[in-house]
Amino acid sequence: MIMSHMNGYVQEASGQAKSHRERAVDCPGEELCLVKSPHCSAHMERIQHYQEELKKKREEDSRGKHDIDPNASLRLKKLSQNPKVGIDNPTFEGKEKATKDSCSQEAVVELVDLLQALKWAQHCLTDAQSQQDAELIMQLLAKEDFKNAYTIYSAVSQQMTRVSPNSPLTAQAKDLCQEALMQAHDSVAGQEMSEEDVVEYHGETVKLVRLEKARDTPLGATVRNDMDSVVVSRVVKGGAAERSGLLSEGDEILEINGISLRGKHVNEVHDLLQQMQGTLTFLLIPSSQIKPAPHRQTVMHVRAYFDYDPSDDPFLPCRELGLSFQKGDILHVISQDDPSWWQAYRDGDEDNQPLAGLIPGKSFQQQRETLKRTMTDRSREHQGKLWYAKKNIKKRKKSTSTLSRNTDYDDILTYEEMSLYHQPANRKRPIALIGPTKSGHDELRRRLLSIEPEKFAVAVPHTTRNSRIHERNGREYHFVSRPAFDTDLAAGKFIESGEYEKNLYGTSTDSVRHIINSGRICLLCLHTRSLQILRSSNLKPYVIFIAPPSQERLRTLLATGGTTPKPEELKEVIEKAREMEQNFGHFFDATIVNMDPDQAFHELRRLIDKLDTEPQWVPTSWLC
């Protein structure tokens, strides 16, 4: 089923060399994305008529409220029409409607009484100024907005008097109050930017949505074509559309600022929106899909284990929204609503990049990598067959199908879930220095050990060779028998091991743990092949890659140290470093390019000190 989904993408992508299925209607700095849905065009006339009516009504409304905050007036009107206004107490639910009706009737009666009293008072007043004042008050009382506000006031005060101040309904009143205040703030803040009217018109529900498209606030939505309609296909986190909560996936956009979208290609819509700024009025047919209740999304933090270039991805549904990243980057995934395309921010980008970007979802990435591998294998197989055919070699045994072999995604690296970890003062993380020979990592380790021996230490290795006269078991080495070494090796107790002159040597996790328990920092110089086992050891290593500088600079540095390597040796160091980075770069927490031994040393110290002062990202599995 998933494959057919993939194939769907493949077909669409191949048929769409010229255009994307979704178009961003507002991307940072340049463009906008939009959406569309299928509905009969007979509604259009009715909707236009409705729009005109609405426009007229708005104009009338605004004429009468110039002396007050125009938004406040609108809000008051909405509030007065909202049955939930006032104290929305579920214990009064059954009586709510009756109470509201009687409240508004009482309020109207009170106002009429007041008006009559004022009229009477006006007759009794003798000076012109007082009469004018009374006239002004009567005008105010006659205004619809004032009547509505007074109705609300009456409803609220009636509810208030019904709740006995001596018997609070809940013990969390203060917390609830604060929460309600925050919610009210958020919704008012949202209303400052956006507004919506939902109207039942000839049995069809249409929505007029007004959004403010500020220069620096992207709209953050994409549109797709559905027959001749333009439909919202994706609402991206962090954009004005998402924050307003007024545009939803599946809504058909009939018009924007009075311009009809029916029959328009998404590219045209994209171009149209690019030119628009300020207030955008969308006429929508809301999606018939039932909206899931808004829930607080939990952010998942991941480290990427592959490079991603959106401009090079034919499957990406909206190119403008793709988020590029590199192997090792930390990504904050804020939405997995679409399992194929997650929404994420790159660590550090959140402040200057309000709109989230699209990244391939984990299983989608695994599937397409598998597909890629299968295709490569098949093409190799095919080429092999051709080669055999050319050589006129008899039928060879049919090999197992590569497709059937490639059903396991485990070795395809995509993302690893990460968490922040702050090392405790008494349990310092071991520092693993990685790099090709001659990159200087061993010198850096020696320098740290000689300058601060009370702070840094190396793990005591195991060996199968006999001890020498001056050596003590547990100081220079742990001297063990070959069978004992082999047993420990088989049990995975060594981070690394090797053979030298027919003797075995190795560093055990227990030796490293012994240093950690002593409160010192264990320094390790390791080969990349040890990284995997070190990571699964629960020692929480901090891995620093010591990279060589340019070939010329490396030659100078080595010459200063008294060695004169051949150019091919220098090339080999650099090539080895490149290979290490290519294959294991995603495991490196930091990289130091060793241009100058003193600078590299200071950078190393800085990174080590930072572990005490700042939390670092580590695989979440380490903390379980």
CA 252, 256, 260, 265 torsion-angle sign = negative
Work out how close the CB of 506 gets to ligand 5GP at its nearest, in angstroms, rounded to a whole number: 5
**What count of Cα atoms within 13 Å lies in the side-chain half-sphere of residue 477?**
18
Amino acid occupying residue 553: R
- Kindly state the smallest distance separating residue 323's Cβ from ligand 5GP, in Å: 42
Tokens standing for 420? 């922040």
Any idea of the CA torsion for 236, 242, 246, 247, to the nearest 10 degrees?
A: -10
Interatomic CA distance for residues 552 and 554, integer angstroms:
5
Q: Alpha helix (H) ranges present in 275-321?
A: none
Instruction: Please name the helix (run of DSSP H) or strand (run of DSSP E) that holds residue 329, with its range, or none.
Output: none
**In angstroms, rounded to a whole number, what is the distance separating the alpha carbons of residues 188 and 71?**
10
Between 379 and 467, CB nearer to ligand 5GP: 467
What separation in angstroms does the CA of 61 have from each of 24, 71, 617? Answer: 35, 11, 55
Q: What is the rounded CA–CA span in Å between residue 275 and residue 263? A: 19
How many other C-beta atoms are found inside a 10 Å radius of the C-beta of residue 94?
9
User: Which residues are near ligand 5GP by CB under 6 A?
Assistant: 461, 465, 496-498, 500, 505-507
- Token readout for 118 is 């004022």
What is the nearest approach in angstroms of ligand 5GP to the Cβ of residue 401? Answer: 41
Q: Which is nearer to ligand 5GP, 197 or 486 (CB)?
A: 486
Cβ closest to ligand 5GP, residue 331 vs residue 512: 512
Beta-carbon contacts of residue 381 (< 8 Å; ≥ 6 apart): 399, 402
Q: Which is nearer to ligand 5GP, 60 or 499 (CB)?
A: 499
What is the arrangement of strands in the sheet containing 330-335, beginning at the earlier edge strand?
Answer: 357-360, 341-346, 330-335, 300-304, 415-421, 616-619
- Rounded Cα gap, residues 523 and 581, in angstroms: 21
Q: Give least dist CB 495 to ligand 5GP, A.
A: 9
Nearer to ligand 5GP, 497 or 528 (CB): 497
Provide long-range contacts, Cβ within 8 A and 24+ apart, for 602-610. 604/444, 604/448, 604/544, 605/448, 607/542, 607/544, 608/431, 608/521, 608/542
Amino acid at 50: Y
